[in-house]
Amino acid sequence: SDWPDHVREWSAARWMERNGQHEAALALYSHAAAKWSAAAAEPELVYALFDRQRLDLTLRMGDIEAAEAILLKPLRPHHDAVWRAMRARVELEQGLAVEASQRMAAAFEQATSLQRRDPAFLHAARTHLAVGDTLAAIESWQTVVAAIRRPERLRAAVVIWEQNPALQIALRTAEDPAPALRFLVRALRREEALQIVRWRIDNEIGPRQEQELFVAEQLYRLRQHDALRTWLEETDRNEFDAEQLAEAEGYRWGVARREGTSLEVARGFDAIAETWPDTPRAAEAWWESAWMYELSDAVPEAVDRYARHVEATKAGRFRSSAALRTVLLTWRDKQPDAARDLARRFEAALGQGMDQAAAWWLLGDADDEIRLREEHPASPFWRGLEPEIAAAQLPAIAALFELQEQALGEVSRRLSLSNPLQDLPEELVAIARVAELGLRQEATIRLQAYAGAHAADERVRLQAIAIALHNGLPEVQARQGWFLQRKLRGEGPALDQALRTLSLPTPFAATVSRITTALDLPPALIWALMRRESFFDADVVSLAGAYGLMQLLPKTAERMADAEGLVLGAESDLFQPSVNLRLGSSYLANLKAEAAGNWVRALASYNAGEWNGERWEARLRPEEDPALGILLISYTETRSYVYNVLRVAHLYEDAWRALF
């Protein structure tokens, strides 16, 4: 409400731009710029972002005349690397290839690692190609793409890739195509990566064996099983080394595993591990073999193969899971003493997370349970699956904020800061102002980078948390709160509680309270789900096309909107927190109802699809604790997802206990 007119127009321009109303957005940018000269001074970063955004819009519209006008008369003179890169892009569109290439090279040299993530530098490759410098083009593209973290910037890279055949040709013929192939795989363009490697093989470019296995991997990932069988049959393996032979056989038996569970498949994986025992694929084969034996109800063989996997690996995401499954299968086979022996044998492999907690929960050892309750206080194995605090009990929004303010004060006293928002460095002042003006994504990126650059300074991390808390940047609050919690925990219960509270933001609290009350859902679970799905980023779109806070696919959103009598004007409506939370929460409530209140099945269905949630629940025996259902989920990612959403929901409730 206290924004001046030009800032309001800037905000409206961004919204119109996101909704594809480019002409109207450009007009508003121009109107805001005309009013800005009489306004109060802003940090340089604010002027830079305004000018970059409107210049980028003109370039995407192909309006070079408007772009030239902005370059001639920006709000303020800019000398940073990103602005120079954008100027080089304008020169490129004007046909000034030499000038563009030289300016872009200078900007690239000047840029920090954070600046090189900006989409402006994706055009560096184009400027180099325009003057025939293919090596520089390849190097710049690979450097920029490798640094990309956010999906919207990866999509921008895909657009440039699609629009520039010369770039595709350059990277296709590069001496090392691996970075380009990784980019295509990250962008879910495996078919295209496949075509490039097949072309290189046909033209005898690069090491044949590695590229043949890359083709096999992509065919396997794409589930093109008939094509994969044909490829493996036609591949000459005479020059394969042991590791490559093991990998090729792994794909062959992997296809067989997908087409049905059988002891034959288990023995096929056994053969891989026994024939090539010193290769990385051997350990993976023991896991695959164990899983096939487990699904075939051959428990002793499954336990033996899981144990071999543990012994064949020193680390990896499957090691602790394999250790747990030896305990779980033996325990379900009514051999508690043998299960306890396995837990002791693989204690180090079980790690410090879910698998460790689950093993000792299963065994019910009193001494270990006391210790593990202290180490894993929010584990759903101890706390149960149903969050305790209902929506109707949610404290007033002001009380939630006050609790976080008190926590901020507690940590400030520990770090001898009277007020973490006073005497901020100039860069943090600028970032805070960017956040105040509604540029939350830009503020989040810069605040995270600044805190990361001062990682050893707890005061800087707390200042970042304070800025985040007061300006609605929950991702920063959560991440920096977690870092501080790891650094300072154990210094006293009051400080530990304050650190927990700061690491658990409650964004969109009024909306969450209203929706969860109407749907009878625990608010803590919705915040935990938001954290896991989008890390509280309302504007994110995944590469799979899931939108917003609760990562809704448009088809799911449309189905829920129809049921709710809500009209979705466009997919961009899913960026609105109120809409996204309403539809996502309704979907979760439906899944809970279909699962008869079983949160394990409901959350597994939310993550991996309703059919998977139903079939995993069917593995639970009637007499078994519903929490055991977490461990019966096949997919490692979904098992972790369900466990951690429930765990974080309990952490939220622990943070609120002072209000009851």
Residues whose CB falls within 8 Å of the CB of residue 140, separated by 6 or more in sequence, listed in order: 104, 108, 121, 124, 125, 128
Strand partners, 270: none
**247/297 Cα distance (integer angstroms):** 27
Backbone angles phi, psi at 547, to 5 degrees: -110, 140
C-alpha to C-alpha distances, 25 to 13, 57, 66, 210, nearest whole angstrom: 4, 9, 13, 49
For residue 399, the SS3 value is helix
Please name the residues in contact with 645: beta carbons below 8 A apart, sequence gap of 6 or more.
525, 528, 529, 532, 603
Q: From the CB of residue 424, how many other CB atoms can be counted at a distance below 10 Å?
A: 17
What is the CA angle 40-44-49, rounded to 5?
100
Which DSSP string do the residues of 86-110 spell out, in sequence order?
Answer: HHHHHHHHTT-HHHHHHHHHHHHHH
Contact assessment for residue 560 and residue 587, using Cβ atoms and an 8 Å cutoff = yes
β-strand partners of 541 = 547
Neighbours of 285 (CB within 10 A): 30
* DSSP-derived secondary structure letter, 540: -
Closest CA relative to residue 493, chosen from 576, 374, 399: 374
Alpha-carbon span 498 to 94, nearest angstrom: 56
> How many CB atoms are located within 10 Å of the residue 210 CB?
11
Instruction: Count CA atoms within 13 Å of residue 86 on its CB side.
Output: 27
Q: Is residue 58 within 8 Å of residue 67, measured between CB atoms?
A: yes
Catalytic residue among 284, 436, 533, 617: 533
Distance between CA atoms of residues 14 and 148, nearest Å: 22
Asked whether the beta carbons of 174 and 198 are under 8 A apart, the reply is no
Q: Which residues contact 380 (CB under 8 A, 6 or more apart)?
A: 627, 630, 643, 646, 647, 650
Report yes or no: 549 and 537 within 8 Å, Cβ to Cβ. yes
Contact 521, 390 (CB under 8 A): no
- Residue environment code for 248-270, b if the CB has 16+ CB neighbours within 10 A, otherwise e: bbbbbbbbbbeeebeeebbebbb
Determine the Cα–Cα distance for residues 534 and 540; give it in Å rounded to an integer: 7
Token pair, residue 467, equals 């800025």
Position 214, amino acid: F
Tell me whether residue 394 is exposed, middle or buried, using C-beta atoms within 10 angstroms of its C-beta: 0 to 12, 13 to 18, 19 or more: buried
**Cα Rg, the chain, nearest whole Å:** 28
The secondary structure of residue 234, as a DSSP letter, is: H
What is the Cα–Cα distance from 648 to 129, expressed in whole angstroms?
A: 49
Q: How far apart are CA 55 and CA 68, in angstroms?
A: 9
Is residue 44 flagged as an active site residue?
no
Q: Own/partner pairs for 542-545, CB < 8 Å, 24+ apart?
A: 542/151, 543/151, 543/154, 543/155, 543/186, 543/187, 543/188, 544/188
| Residues with catalytic function | 533
